[in-house]
Structure 1
Amino acid sequence: MSRPELSLSLQFADPRHRALLPRHKVARWIRAALELPGEITVRIVDAEEGRRLNAEFRAKDYATNVLTFDYSAEPVVCADLVICAEVVEREAAEARLDIAAHYAHMLVHGTLHAQGYDHEADDEAECMEARESEILQGLGFADPYGGSNAT
């Protein structure tokens, strides 16, 4: 199956996981979640930058795993995905996940947000989680929500 075109900028303000995130893998993970062509910047940041951005744009004074800044969803998905390396590392350790698998989940999650998916309401969360599970399993990763969605 042909995947949409992707223009990708990959930035490492925090280089700790650079080896886990080669450009071709990041592009593959994002493309799997894209429904239209995309222009996406992925920026891997430290906790200080993650906290500052979350406080400034969401009024939440802590670093979160992924922030999605979506600028357009059609005809081209334009977005910045900001991922906090320290948070991804901590969450992966707590859940006993492979760090690369958790990064793949955060990239898929952020890419879906950039296309209008949301998880604020229960029904929206179920739809988004099901889509994430389907995409990640298609990429060869385990269901991030622990369900049994295998076909």
Structure 2
Amino acid sequence: MISFNYQEADLVLDEDKHLLWLKRAVLEEGQIINEIAYILTTDEEVLALNKKFLRHDYYTDILTFDRSENQRLSGDIFISQERVEENAATHEVEKGEELRRVMIHGLLHMMGYKDDSEEDRRIMREREDYYLKMFHVEQ
């Protein structure tokens, strides 16, 4: 099950379209969804979580708390609405497109993709681009 929770967030999804897209990505990666919660929230909430759990004192667009086991995906993905909006403006893309990039990025982390090295980041970006294109083809 995938759920969407909006905490002080103005960005609201077409949940049915996004659910189909995310489920297809997981299926294509050969994994199974157990329970994933996307929480769209504020910079301050994501910063507080980043400090508390990762001991990082900086803003970030996404935090993924992965509880997956045996390719059964479970966890919480916190997304900062402000960071998504800022990233969209910086990269000159629509907010919805940037939100989808961040959403798939968190899901890819749950599925085992890393972004610690240049090579890992290249692979992560390729997968993000692939699944973003898939969203537009399916619609």
**1:123 maps onto 2:100 in alignment:** no
Between the aligned partners of 1:22 and 1:63, the Cα distance in structure 2 is: 26
SS of the aligned residue for 1:87 comes to helix
Aligned pairs for 1:1-150 within 5 A: 7-18=1-12, 21-34=13-26, 35=29, 36-38=31-33, 39-140=35-136
Q: Kindly indicate whether the alpha-carbon contact (under 8 Å) linking 1:11 and 1:43 is maintained by their aligned counterparts in 2.
A: yes
Q: Kindly indicate whether the alpha-carbon contact (under 8 Å) linking 1:50 and 1:62 is maintained by their aligned counterparts in 2.
A: no
Report the CA distance between 1:137 and its aligned residue. Answer: 1.5
Name the TM-score, length of structure 2 as normaliser: 0.87
SS of the aligned residue for 1:10 comes to strand
Deviates more, 1:129-138 or 1:102-111: 129-138
Between the aligned partners of 2:53 and 2:95, the Cα distance in structure 1 is: 26
Deviates more, 1:95-104 or 1:66-75: 66-75
1:35-92 residue CA offsets vs partner (Å, 9 max, x unmatched): 3121210001111101101111222212211111111142411121100001101111
Name the TM-score, length of structure 1 as normaliser: 0.80
**Structure 1 residues 29, 107: closer, same or farther in 2, change over 3 A?**
farther
User: Which ranges of structure 1 fall in alignment gaps of 5 or more residues?
Assistant: 1-6, 142-151
More helix per residue = 2
Report the CA distance between 1:128 and its aligned residue. Answer: 1.5
Between the aligned partners of 2:23 and 2:10, the Cα distance in structure 1 is: 24
- The count of corresponding residues between Structure 1 and Structure 2 is 133
Deviates more, 1:98-107 or 1:30-39: 30-39
**Structure 1 residues 30, 112: closer, same or farther in 2, change over 3 A?**
same
Between the aligned partners of 2:71 and 2:89, the Cα distance in structure 1 is: 38
RMSD between aligned alpha carbons? 1.6
**Structure 1 residues 26, 73: closer, same or farther in 2, change over 3 A?**
farther
Q: Which runs of 4+ in 1 moved over 4 A?
A: none
